[in-house]
Amino acid sequence: MNVNVFFGVLTFISVALTWAMFSTRQMMLGFPCAIFWAILGGFAYTQSVIDWDLFYLVFFASFGMTIF
């Protein structure tokens, strides 16, 4: 699978779960939401080639969403 497609799928799932959690007020969606944010952050960190590129910033943002 292409890296950009996999990155897009992980991003879509993470954002969709976050949106569904807040819009339906089902806090049980918070655990899978945090898991997908952590997976996205780990994947973005492995794809980062230099400091402060897009993947590096997504890594920090997604782990911030994991704590949130």
Cα R_g (the chain), whole angstroms:
12
**For the chain, what is the domain count?**
1
Check: CB of residue 44 under 8 Å from CB of residue 56.
Answer: yes
Residue 19: pLDDT over 70 = yes
- For the chain, what percent of residues have pLDDT higher than 70? 96
Could you tell me the residue range of the domain that residue 61 belongs to?
3-67
| Residue-level pLDDT at 33 | 92
pLDDT tens string 27-65: 998 899 999 999 999 999 988 888 788 888 888 989 888
pLDDT at 1: 58
Distance CA 59, CA 41 (A): 4
Residue 68 pLDDT class (50, 70, 90 cuts): low
